[in-house]
Chain A
């Protein structure tokens, strides 16, 4: 259990990952940099982690947020799998946000699982950062 710092000093720890066979990393590299510039501690999973590896990394690194991105059409299998595994591994309170190529009809199910954001192409980096900060404030830090 990390020691609580004051709200001002606390940095959001965020794992950025593509939990599947998807090496198209332009998006996650840009996001990682944007998150870092916004003052977060960014852990990038590297290429091709399995959902299992992502969940384990999230728990091992004791992150506040996992940011999942997929462009390969496998999000309805992979994102819920990460969420399930997080819960199994004791990381059920880690926030999950998602993005990539996610058809509108898939979004309600993902949101019901607690996976929010669901940012598609052309999303504003500032919007994504704000969304993360707000969720962390409300749900992790209850400041």
Chain B
């Protein structure tokens, strides 16, 4: 099936913008800087040379346990110390101020002085009842935004009674097979009083329709709904791998949701352009930054191709990044992301509306960085990663629980994770000053390094024939797999130390109590689904699914309203997704190894 609306992503647009941007960094380094006058700069350089030649060799003692190499987690080589000479080119225009282009220092003028980041804990397991209880517990303990984790059957669009769902129902998230399940998840939670993020991708449109359906039943106007669906299908093909249909089909549904929400759900972030999963899959910070933003530019082109004006839809493009253990690299990454997004939207896409230039992002601390060994150590890891997110200016934050490598979090573990954010907010003083690391020689230098790497990647992706080709050929996936293997080898060879894994290893285990999920959830969900199917009007369901099918078959149509009707008639998730399988088929990824 040909998809005209995907032409933008296929465009081999070689206007040379990326090459020009990448070479700007080289040119600036060669020029005299603007921050210091020539005499002062020479004095600084002389001082550094003297220190390197005379002070450092005398005092430097190589002892056992001192690292042989000094580099960031991404492999960027690091000097012992950074000085003004390393940031001589940064002009006030490059740096800006909070809430001012290029938004390097923060997207809002007051940041956390005005409002602390949203504390939004990713949650979900077992039955809708189990999850409803957990959401209410977290709200009681002070989380300020909801975030729903779904189980694997739901993520792949299978109902709980499908044979592929057997053994999987409720095990790593909450099961949703119909609108009824969503009604139970949000029972007693007024949707006009909360904002909800749903980590759902292939069936994102259907789940958005279900959330809107719950709102209708609560008497809450749909246009007032605040929240996010992840819905970032490009990164699915790269990293999380939760797709059902071929890329063009999913991108068409992303477009439909974008157009529908722009008009009918103006407070709904219909996409959360994600780097978290790309990083968890083993990418470097530069790759996480570059591939996420490249996906972002792809969605901008998708919206423009759909006939929307940038200022209509771009303000609702939101982002989602990882925060992992290389502390300063993560902070630099968040800053670089903001500056790149604003710059490219302004320069390449000609967007003038300031709201469209703001990179708003949610952060999750890295699950892959947490260890199965000595799980309490994970509290420390999560704390440092959360702090990096805050110092990087995130709008919203999820902190992992210390039992992450064992199971889904217990109540106790998730409380500690939430308290981690609250301690940072209430006790450290960090929220009092915006972008406190701005002006740090190291952090500003590293921010530029990552930006330069990103522009080089944008150029490479364009040379590979554009984003869609780069994904379908497996190029980006192979980049991620290469870096992932590099990281695994570094740990295997003790070049990178991980406490409890290859350093300070303790053979005795102290078992922790973990959350157990059994077949009860599967049985209960199947019973509920049977009841839904008994009580619904089968004629209405058939008619609504037939309309969904017609809309899928017509590329120019918008499929969201038909999906809303089907959801309200209690067509199941599996039934709706299956229509798409019939129309568009499935897709196998290229060989990566």
Q: What is A's interface to B at a CB cutoff of 8 Å?
A: 20-26, 29-30, 32-34, 36, 42, 44, 46-48, 50, 71-74, 76-78, 101, 103-104, 120-122, 124-126
Contacts and interface: CB of A to CB of B under 8 A. Distances in A.
13 contacts: A24-B241, A25-B241, A29-B481, A30-B282, A30-B488, A32-B593, A50-B164, A71-B172, A73-B168, A73-B172, A104-B509, A120-B405, A121-B405
A48 B241 CA distance: 10
A122 B373 contact: yes
A71 B158 CA distance: 18
Contacts of A72: 152, 168, 171-172
B242 interface: yes
Interface in B156-171: 156, 158, 164-168, 171
Interface of B: 152-153, 155-156, 158, 164-168, 171-172, 240-242, 280-282, 368, 371-373, 405-407, 481, 484-485, 488, 492, 498, 500-501, 509, 511, 514, 517, 588-589, 592-593
B167 A29 contact: no
Nearest to B505: A122
B492 A20 contact: no
A20 B152 contact: yes
A20 B168 contact: yes
A37 B500 CA distance: 26
A26 B241 contact: no
B165, B371, B481, most chain A CB atoms within 10 A: B481
B368 A26 contact: yes
Contacts of B514: 103
B484 A30 contact: yes
Given A21-B158, A29-B485, A122-B498, 14 more contacts: A20-B167, A23-B242, A24-B241, A25-B281, A30-B485, A47-B241, A71-B172, A77-B168, A103-B514, A120-B372, A121-B372, A121-B405, A122-B373, A126-B492
B152 A22 contact: yes
B405 A21 contact: no
B167 A47 contact: no
A65 B165 CA distance: 26
Given A26-B280, A122-B373, A74 B171 contact: yes
A125 to B, nearest CB: 5
B373 A77 contact: no
Given A29-B481, A29-B484, A21 B492 contact: no
A21 to B, nearest CB: 4
Given A125-B488, A125-B492, A21 B240 contact: no
A57 to B, nearest CB: 14
A50 B503 CA distance: 38
Nearest to A78: B167
Contacts of B407: 73, 101, 103
A33 B517 contact: no
A124 B164 CA distance: 32
Nearest to A44: B593
Given A33-B593, A125-B492, A21 B164 contact: yes
Contacts of B368: 26
B566 to A, nearest CB: 23
Nearest to B171: A73
A130 to B, nearest CB: 13
B592 A29 contact: yes
Nearest to B488: A30
B312 to A, nearest CB: 33
A10 to B, nearest CB: 22
Contacts of B588: 46-47
Contacts of A121: 371-372, 405
Given A21-B153, A21-B168, A74-B167, A26 B282 contact: yes
